[in-house]
Amino acid sequence: MDFRISADDRVGAQPKGRPAAASRAKGGSRVEPSMGKAVGVFVDDERSGGASPNPKGKPPKPPRRGKATTAREKKPKKRRSRTGGFLMGIFYWGFVFALWAGIAVIGVVVYYGAQLPSSNTWAIPDRPPNIRILAADGSLISNRGQTGGEAITYRELPYYVPAAIIASEDRRFMSHFGVDPIGLLAVAAESVRARGVTRGASTITQQVAKNLFLTPDQTLGRKVQEAILAVWLEQNYTKEEILELYMNRVYFGAGATGIEAAAQTYFGVSARNLSLGQAAMLAGILPAPSAYNPKSNPERAKERQRLTLNSMAEEGYITREEASAAQIDPNQSVRTRVAGSESYVADWVESLMTAYIGEIDSDVVVQTTIDWKMQKDAEFIVKELVASEGPKRGFNQGALVAMDVDGTVRAMVGGVDYQASQYNRAVTAKRQPGSTFKPFVYLAAMEKGYTPETLAEDAQFEYQGWSPRNASGKYAGTVTLRQGLAYSLNTIAARLAIDVTPQAVVDVATRMGISSQLTPVPSIALGTQEVNLLELTGAYAPFANGGMGVIPNVITKIETKDGKPLYEASDAGPGRVIAPNVLDEMNDMLETAVEVGTGKGANLNGWQFGGKTGTSQNARDALFVGYTAAMVTGVWLGNDNDTRTTLSGGNVPAVIWSEFMTKAHAGKQIAQIPHGSYEGQSVAQPVIDPATGQQVIDPATGQPMVQHVDAQTGQPVAAPSNQPIQTGQMVDPMTGLPVGQQVTYDANGQAIDPATGMPIQQGGGFQQGPAADVGSTAPIDPDTGLPMVLIVDPSTGQQVWVPSAPASQQQPQGQFAPPQPVGDQVIYQEPEQPQQRTLMDLIFGN
């Protein structure tokens, strides 16, 4: 079959002269679909069944491109709200941001949390221990330790104390979980408005976490860790326990850590007894302790108190009326506690704690020997006299130590103003004691055999380039040792120190209670080496108590807070340090010193007392140390910078001593200073041949013999087991120190002074004063027919018999014209009658 295709049969071709569609339709042939031409309106064949005709015969409009529309879709659409779309966008992007922010926060928390130790090792660290120091009557002296106060439980406090802290520091403390999101947002908003950080946003729990576990660094990591630990605290402790931790460990300024320390420091009361106004003021300190505390800035403290009280009223803890009543009047000054002299005692006690009980790991209570009334009397008297006399005499500081005769310290003043200076001039400071050191020189001399009536020459001399002089520049000539000590003659003390040796003086001072390091040089006789007032006062106690050494003590017992004993004072001490006969001689001289000597400015109605003044070079230090049968007290006045004053030990120090001791002895039974007791004691003395009256010579050693006798009866006794009989030197069995002197003897057994070659008296070993005191035992001067006089060689200190002056030229004993003292500055009057001739007269031909 042959198919022929013409050009008209090609797809898309049309015959010339007419449209292809028309020609085919007319001939009844089929219609072919054409490309690019609409075949009626596009409808869904399943719904319409075919195309609809065009009634008007108009060519159809080409359909709109895109999806075909239905009748339903031809309804007019509502316009979508632009506001809703914007909000939806914000919500969407906000959600996205929050999601990512949350993921970032979780990452930061995980990162910094991983740097913390494992949570099962977290524990509340122990609070530093507190030392509660009490007076003898139980009164609180002070708290010491790192915190300055003991821990107080939540239940012990008035309700308004924790309420004030919550209202001031963290109003939502009782409801948040350790971190306060609301508070954070509020602070953020304030900071944005103020264009800077206005305040912190840490909760009380966060502050506890920071204080307990972290450093105060202001870093992101530290804040994150703080929040983590705060949540942990909230999960493991109650709100009361967390608040208790906070109140006991937060810093309140002025060295006070914890609510108890703050209450004691600022108001002198326990936190248990705080008033509403005081509690509000303490709570107001917390944001800036150094700036808001009432000691450093009372005006800011009053303003902070007002804000805290208002906050408490807003939170419903108190009423508006209570808030107004508790406020301090703006025109009223803030009255805070002033630290008194008892704080010097507290510092001293704290310094002793390690030596007494070792390291302290829990709160302790220390019972002291301090008498609260005496302490306050001492403080008042020292302050008053320094204030009234200081400007006139050029000094501004003072110190006082008072103790019972057994060394029990009853009062101690370390300075006139503890708040201005915490330096303790009674314990820590070491100054020259001046003439208050001379009793130890005289004690060494008495132990060697001198007596109060031994004569000595008050005159200038030179010893190895050293030439001691009296402060007045004048000299009294021949005097007794009693007079030498009473009028504080420097040359006499210097001669004695050279004779007994400076080392013997050091030994005596140490035995009596001086603990400072002393150098054995001749000038020690004048008190040129430094000691503290506490040890100097304690060294006078043996004069008052019968010769027994003491160790100054301020602590009676130490206990834990629960009452477990840790230390209790013992009565043990050094024992006897002065032989009874020597003690009597020393008390005799020291009583004379306050009766007619440089210490006569001191007085104590009805009580027998002894003492000694002291003034160092250029009057830089002025002291008076005196004692009765009940108490020993030492007073020092001067300047911290060691500058010159116009003081002397006999003026203002003696006045302070008298005023204090008068108050301290009020109501006490008057008693006399005890003399040495010889009961049950033995002493060594020379063995005398009754036929010749000479000391027996030991044929084995060629030295004079000594024996031990009962000190009370004078009957010979066996030598103590620790002190065998010796020859050549008398030894006191109680002290172990020599009380005789080493001499040589001629063929007839006559003792010869090794320095001068002249005979000296035998028998009792020592003689006293002028010939009238020694009776027939004194040798007779062949030139005058008068008994010779036993005097002291001024260069060697040896006792030597010398011719006496005729009776008409002798000054009766007890009639010596004493120098006229002005404090320690002595103006000497030469006697009108010639004095007894001394070895100096013989040597220089006078």
User: 345, 427, 398, 338: which is closest to 136 by C-alpha?
Assistant: 345
535 residue type, one letter: E
Query: Which is it for strands 409-413 and 364-368: parallel, antiparallel or unpaired?
Result: unpaired
Please compute, for residue 96, the number of CA atoms within 13 A of its CA located in the half-sphere on the CB side.
Answer: 6
- What is the predicted pLDDT for the residue at 627? 97
Buried b (16+ CB within 10 A) or exposed e, 592-625: bbbeebbbbbbbbeebebbbbbbbbeebbbbbbb
Residues 6+ apart with CB under 8 A from 595: 486
**DSSP run (H or E) holding 131:** strand 130-134
Burial of 687 (0-12, 13-18, 19+ CB in 10 A): middle
User: Cα(776)–Cα(505) distance, rounded to whole angstroms?
Assistant: 34
User: 552, 534, 533: which is closest to 614 by C-alpha?
Assistant: 533
CA dihedral 796, 799, 805, 811 (to 10 degrees): 100
User: Cα(31)–Cα(388) distance, rounded to whole angstroms?
Assistant: 141
Query: Which is it for strands 364-368 and 130-134: parallel, antiparallel or unpaired?
Result: parallel
Tokens 């009580």 found at = 607
> Three-state DSSP class for 291?
helix
- What is the predicted pLDDT for the residue at 76? 58
User: 200, 252, 206: which is closest to 231 by C-alpha?
Assistant: 206
User: Cα(117)–Cα(138) distance, rounded to whole angstroms?
Assistant: 45
What pTM did the predictor assign? 0.68
Provide the 8-state DSSP code for 338: P
Instruction: Write out the two tokens for 743.
Output: 């001499």
Express each pLDDT in 8-39 by its tens digit: 544 444 444 444 444 444 444 444 433 343 33
Residues 6+ apart with CB under 8 A from 734: 576, 579, 681
Instruction: Write out the two tokens for 19.
Output: 């449209």
Q: Which residues of the chain have pLDDT under 70?
A: 1-84, 104-121, 186-192, 194-201, 218, 676-695, 701-704, 706-846
User: Cα(816)–Cα(74) distance, rounded to whole angstroms?
Assistant: 147
User: Cα(734)–Cα(724) distance, rounded to whole angstroms?
Assistant: 13
Residues 6+ apart with CB under 8 A from 551: 407, 513, 538, 573, 574
Instruction: Write out the two tokens for 75.
Output: 């309804």
**CA distances in angstroms from 823 to 356, 440, 595, 647, 649, listed in the order given:** 42, 21, 13, 8, 6
**CA distances in angstroms from 161 to 73, 99, 274, listed in the order given:** 76, 43, 8
- What is the predicted pLDDT for the residue at 498? 95
Are 442 and 485 within 8 A, CB to CB? yes
Instruction: Write out the two tokens for 633.
Output: 């007290």
Are 412 and 345 within 8 A, CB to CB? yes
User: Cα(503)–Cα(513) distance, rounded to whole angstroms?
Assistant: 15
CA-based max dimension of the chain = 203
Angle made by CA atoms 796, 794, 473, in degrees to the nearest 5: 140
Helices (H) and strands (E) in the chain, counts: 23, 22
Q: Return the percent helix, strand and coil in the chain, to nearest 5.
A: 35, 15, 50
User: 443, 507, 435, 522: which is closest to 481 by C-alpha?
Assistant: 443
Burial of 268 (0-12, 13-18, 19+ CB in 10 A): middle
85 residue type, one letter: G
**CA distances in angstroms from 602 to 70, 373, 625, 627, 703, listed in the order given:** 129, 22, 10, 11, 48
Instruction: Write out the two tokens for 522.
Output: 């001749």
Tokens 């919550």 found at = 166
Backbone angles phi, psi at 836, to 5 degrees: -60, 145
In 756-812, DSSP assigns E strands to 789-792, 799-802
Residues 6+ apart with CB under 8 A from 843: none
DSSP string, 319-334: -HHHHHHHSPPTTSPP
- What is the predicted pLDDT for the residue at 530? 96
- What is the predicted pLDDT for the residue at 339? 84
Are 260 and 150 within 8 A, CB to CB? yes
- What is the predicted pLDDT for the residue at 436? 97
Beta bridge partners of 477: 458
User: Cα(689)–Cα(33) distance, rounded to whole angstroms?
Assistant: 177
Within 10 A of 217 (CB to CB), how many other CB atoms are there? 9
User: Cα(517)–Cα(510) distance, rounded to whole angstroms?
Assistant: 9
Round the CA-based radius of gyration of the chain to a whole number and report it: 51
Query: Which is it for strands 610-615 and 621-627: parallel, antiparallel or unpaired?
Result: antiparallel
User: Cα(540)–Cα(526) distance, rounded to whole angstroms?
Assistant: 17
User: 606, 658, 608, 656: which is closest to 629 by C-alpha?
Assistant: 608
Task: Report the 3 state secondary structure along 491-533.
Answer: HHHHHHHHHHCHHHHHHHHHHHCCCCCCCCCHHHHHCCCCECH
Instruction: Write out the two tokens for 705.
Output: 């013999």
Name the H helices within 4-53.
Answer: 20-26, 45-48
User: Cα(646)–Cα(786) distance, rounded to whole angstroms?
Assistant: 48
User: Cα(378)–Cα(385) distance, rounded to whole angstroms?
Assistant: 11
Burial of 814 (0-12, 13-18, 19+ CB in 10 A): exposed
